[in-house]
Amino acid sequence: MEKYLKYTIYLNLIISALSSFMAFNLWGVDRNKAYIFVFLAVITLAMFLFRRHYYKKFQERKDNQK
C-alpha cells in the first residue's frame, strides 16, 4: 500500500501540469474556463507539495523507529 501512495503524490503534479496547459490554451478563447483551470492547477500543486512534505516526514519518523 505504501508503494502506491508514493506514486499517487505525483498524480497531483501531473494534473497540475495538464490544468496549466489547458488554462494556457483557453486563455484567449474562454477566459472563465481558463480561470477554473488556473484554480485547479494551483490547488493540485498545493496538494502535491503538502502531501510530499508529510510523506517525507512520516518516512523519517518510520526510519528513526527502526
Q: What is the DSSP string of 4-43?
A: HHHHHHHHHHHHHHHHHHHHHHHTTT-HHHHHHHHHHHHH
Exposure of 64 in the CB half-sphere (CA atoms within 13 A) = 6
Examine residue 66 and state whether it is found in any structural domain, yes or no.
no
- The tally of domains found in the chain comes to 1
What is the pLDDT, as a whole number, of residue 7?
Answer: 87
- With respect to residue 37, please indicate whether it lies within any of the assigned structural domains: yes
d(CA 23, CA 37): 5
pLDDT value, residue 1: 66
Residue 64 falls inside a structural domain: no
Residue-wise pLDDT for 32-42, tens only, equals 999 999 999 99
Whether 63 maps to a domain, the answer reads: no
Q: Kindly state whether residue 65 falls inside one of the protein's structural domains.
A: no
Q: Does 10 reside within a domain?
A: yes
Q: Which structural domain, as residue segments, surrounds residue 7?
A: 2-58
9-59 pLDDT, tens digit each: 999 999 999 999 999 999 999 999 999 999 999 999 999 999 999 989 988
Which run of H or E residues covers position 61?
helix 31-65
